[in-house]
Amino acid sequence: MSKQPIDFQISAVDGNARTGVLTTRRGGIETPVFMPVGTAGTVKGIRFEQLEADDLDARIILGNTYHLWLRPGIEVIKACGGLHNFIGWERAMLTDSGGFQVWSLADIRKITEEGTEFRSHIDGALCFLSPEISMELQAALGAEIAMAFDECPPGEASREDARRSMDLTLRWAKRSKEAFDDAQAAGLPLDTGASGLSGKQALFGIIQGSSHLDLRHESLERTAEIGFDGYAIGGLSVGEEKPVMLEIIEEIAPRMPADKPRYLMGVGTPEDLVEAVARGIDMFDCVVPTRNGRTGQAFTSRGKLNIKNARFASDTLPLDDSCQCSVCRRHSRAFIRHLYLAGEMLASILLTHHNLAFFLDTMRHVRQAIRSSQFAKFRREFTEHLSSGLE
Amino acid sequence: MSKQPIDFQISAVDGNARTGVLTTRRGGIETPVFMPVGTAGTVKGIRFEQLEADDLDARIILGNTYHLWLRPGIEVIKACGGLHNFIGWERAMLTDSGGFQVWSLADIRKITEEGTEFRSHIDGALCFLSPEISMELQAALGAEIAMAFDECPPGEASREDARRSMDLTLRWAKRSKEAFDDAQAAGLPLDTGASGLSGKQALFGIIQGSSHLDLRHESLERTAEIGFDGYAIGGLSVGEEKPVMLEIIEEIAPRMPADKPRYLMGVGTPEDLVEAVARGIDMFDCVVPTRNGRTGQAFTSRGKLNIKNARFASDTLPLDDSCQCSVCRRHSRAFIRHLYLAGEMLASILLTHHNLAFFLDTMRHVRQAIRSSQFAKFRREFTEHLSSGLE
């Protein structure tokens, strides 16, 4: 059997939930895993040293191809030796294809069979992205995992629109795979030593189909036929109702190839993560812990905390009494509230750090629960605790 | 001999430059020392863990009484157990009196014999600060070193204005000392174990007199007569020409009580620090490394670097090749430039960290040079190197 770009071994299952290790050329990643989002080459508000520290220990982060392509530009990143070298991060990375970012940020001019024409959200410049261009960009960035170029329809897309979009995404998936294989053949794989890996990048396919279950099933089947190193569910958490999202995950996730990682893109809250794990998902990314941190919201084991609230003015408790992160070991709600109201950068820094700790810690607890066949109990208690109210 | 609030021992002198150890109830501080400014209870853009880390190892930071008084308010800080507990910093602190901040930030309504009436820069509320109020506030904050309440005239003040202001500052210095002694007698000193210290706060007097040398001499003499635990030169770097500033330091610093710390307030650039040490100064504070970091300027051993400059777009060198800080060990100019142009918080975080490292490192080199009687050589080479241009 030929060497693979990544290796994925499941070590325990509990219901549909599973835990295992995803091995990349830049180290192993225990799953289920939450991946902090490093849009423009930085997880906003946090230093890489802290992502690596024991209380976070993030093993993989995201980079956004669209953002990095527009700024600083691929030539700069190439000149600096690829994305890892450019940003100074030696652990694993995943890059998205740019498709979703174009959909959500840019002024889209035209979607054709060939690709997407749009205007940059930074300077309005006319740009064009296609499966081939996305694969070329992602090969230059050099993340361990790249994503196929897809089209993301809105959550409430009609059946007709959703089918048209899904068919296009499938044709783009084939073109992504071909272009990706060409780029990998042309590129110089990293030395992976005795890891048994090929040294190439992995490519994940993306299942679309909006809120239409039959289209989702068809998308899954036809995407799997093309053959990828892992599979993602895209186009969720984009406007549809939460029960619809959970139903689609429940129907689709357990039917995704069992021997490959299953990645739910852009989701979600701590509850969403636990509910999706229960339905068979292995990987997550979301801006919620970092973005909400910057607007004064802390995630805690007893639910969300708005640091602006006057009740915290002299509150000497940490953000979360049961959290062991460096922020909760040192700083009080009163201090962080003061920093936030004074417009101090440290407020965002501390809230971001704590929120990432809470998300990553939740995933650690999830993995332990699955390993000890206690996931159902964990899920029930976690959910109850979340709604129990702050001290 | 009765116990003192601080102890100051000179271990070596070289010309007028001197090195020693200032011992506070929260640890020892090697001098000459640069004190990062933590205006509102945070040194902007940096976590306390990083101030404590080996590459910075800041032993003392500043807090601004004016800012903390207006927000979050002294009652909040008292309720949280004083300034150290409130912000989560166990090392030494110094608080200013609020006098300078009122002068530089607030809308001053009236200066009377009693004190200063002004409007808050935050919400325009009418406030009043006097020697007695400042001492009460500083006692509640509980820093190891407090400052007398002074009036700061502009650098170009006329002799008449400067004298009037200096006389007022002297009367306020006496009132500061009396109010301070009362507050200390009323307060509960910290347990200082076997340190030999009294456990009380120290109070420094401030020498004023604008750019008029004779007034500066008189201010020094009369301030020393009142008797303080240390002495500061205030009212420099406030609009006067640099040679005027250096002349005043040269005249005044060597005549300040030799057995007490000599503190030059609000100064300055790395060159200023070295030049002031050469004239006998022991302590410094300045917002330059943090503020300039946030606007894209790095201090390096070869001079200042504007990270916005296009020449750094693909520059894989660190900010300063001869710097061993955690930023220079990990990140390139190209990456930090990208972060800055993308408006990412991490740009300010990294530039702030490096700039503080450069200032604190410069002071370490200064101390080594004095100890080995090589200060003149160090000063010449440091200055030459600063103007040698970037790689």
- pLDDT score at A1: 47
Query: What is the distance between the alpha carbons of residues B153 and B168, in angstroms, rounded to a whole number?
Result: 11
Is residue B94 within 8 A of residue B147, CB to CB? The reply is yes
User: Does pLDDT of B186 surpass 90?
Assistant: no
CB contact under 8 A, B334 and A72: yes
* A interface test, pick of B37, B42, B75 with most A CB neighbours within 10 Å: B42
The SS3 of residue A200 is coil
Rounded distance between C-alpha atoms, residue A206 and residue A226, angstroms: 11
Taking 60 as the threshold, does the pLDDT of residue B373 lie above it? yes
- Assess whether pLDDT exceeds 90 at residue B102: no
Residues in A closer than 8 angstroms to B46, CB to CB, are 346
Please judge whether B41 and A339 are an interchain contact, meaning their C-beta atoms are less than 8 angstroms apart: yes
Q: With a cut of 70, say whether residue B363 has pLDDT above it.
A: yes
Of B313, B338, B344, the CB nearest to A44: B344
Task: Read off the pLDDT of residues B238-272 as tens digits, 9 standing for 90 and up.
Answer: 888 999 999 999 999 999 999 999 999 999 999 99
The answer, yes or no, to whether residue B1 has pLDDT greater than 60, is no
On whether the CB atoms of residues A362 and A301 are closer than 8 A, the answer is no
Using CA atoms, how far apart are residues A308 and A286, in angstroms rounded to an integer?
23
A346 → chain B, closest CA residue: B45
Which of B229, B282, B285, B315 is an active site residue? B285
Confidence at residue B187, expressed as pLDDT on a 0 to 100 scale: 75
Question: Tokens representing B97?
Answer: 């009196």
Average of per-residue pLDDT across B134-154:
96
Task: Tell me the backbone φ, ψ of residue B70, rounded to 5 degrees.
Answer: -70, -35
Structure tokens at B364: 């370490």
Question: With an 8 Å Cβ cutoff, is B78 touching chain A?
Answer: no
B185 CB-near residues (< 8 Å, 6+ apart): none
Q: What is this model's ipTM?
A: 0.97
Inter-chain CB proximity A40 and B331 less than 8 Å:
no
User: What is each CA distance from A311 to A306, A337, B320, in whole angstroms?
Assistant: 10, 10, 45
Nearest to B41 among A42, A45, A338 (CB): A338
Cβ proximity of A177 and A148 under 8 Å: yes
Q: Is any Cβ of chain B less than 8 angstroms from the Cβ of A72?
A: yes
**Tokens representing A378?**
């964990």
Cβ contacts of A209 within 8 Å, gap of 6 or more? A162, A166, A215, A216, A217, A218, A219, A235
Among chain A residues, CA nearest to B331 = A88
Amino acid A391: pLDDT = 73
Which has the closest alpha carbon to A265: A129, A145, A107? A145
Burial class (CB in 10 A: 0-12, 13-18, 19+), B192: middle
Q: Are B256 and B279 in contact (CB under 8 A)?
A: no
Give the lowest-confidence range in A31-35, B138-142, B190-194, B270-274. B190-194
CB of A87 closer than 8 Å to CB of B335? yes
Given an 8 Å threshold on Cβ–Cβ distance, is A42 in contact with B344?
yes
Q: Is A285 designated active site?
A: yes
Neighbours of B324 (CB within 10 A): 12
Enter the pTM of the model: 0.98
Q: Which of A96, A150, A229, A282 is catalytic?
A: A96
Show pLDDT as tens, one digit a residue, over chain A (391 residues).
Answer: 468 999 999 999 999 999 999 999 999 999 999 999 999 999 999 999 999 999 999 999 999 999 999 999 999 999 999 999 999 999 999 999 998 888 888 888 899 999 999 999 999 999 999 999 999 999 999 999 999 999 988 888 999 999 999 999 999 999 999 999 999 998 766 666 667 899 999 999 999 999 999 999 999 999 999 999 999 999 999 888 999 999 999 999 999 999 999 999 999 999 999 999 999 999 999 999 999 999 999 999 999 999 999 999 999 999 999 999 999 999 999 999 999 999 999 999 999 999 999 999 999 999 999 999 999 999 999 999 999 988 7
Segments of A238-372 assigned E as strands: 262-264, 283-285, 297-300, 303-306
Contact between chains at B330 and A41 (C-beta distance less than 8 A): no
Q: How far apart are CA A114 and CA A107, in angstroms?
A: 18
- For residue B191, what pLDDT band results from cuts at 50, 70 and 90? low
d(CA A198, CA A229) in angstroms, rounded, equals: 12
Mean pLDDT lowest for which of A218-222, B99-103, B211-215?
B99-103
Question: In the predicted model, what is the mean pLDDT of residues B60-89?
Answer: 97
Would the CB atoms of A76 and B338 count as touching at under 8 Å? yes
Q: What pLDDT sits at residue B189?
A: 61
Per cent of chain B over pLDDT 70 is 98
How many percent of chain B have pLDDT more than 90?
90
Question: What is the reported pLDDT for A239?
Answer: 86
Nearest CA in chain A to B43: A346
Q: Counting beta carbons within 10 angstroms of the beta carbon of residue B208, is it exposed (0 to 12), middle (13 to 18) or buried (19 or more)?
A: buried
Mean pLDDT of chain B: 95
Q: Is A48 in CB contact (< 8 Å) with chain B? A: yes
* HEC sequence for A91-143: CEEEECCCHHHHHHHCEEEEECCCCEEEECCCCCCEEEECHHHHHHHHHHHCC
Q: Over range B94-122, report the average pLDDT.
A: 91
pLDDT band for B182, please (50, 70, 90 cuts): very high
Edge to edge, what strands does the sheet with A126-129 contain?
Answer: A107-111, A116-119, A126-129
Residue A344 near chain B (CB below 8 Å): yes
Q: Identify from B332, B346, B349 which residue to disrupt to test chain A contact, counting A C-beta atoms within 10 A and taking the largest count.
A: B346
B96 classed as catalytic:
yes
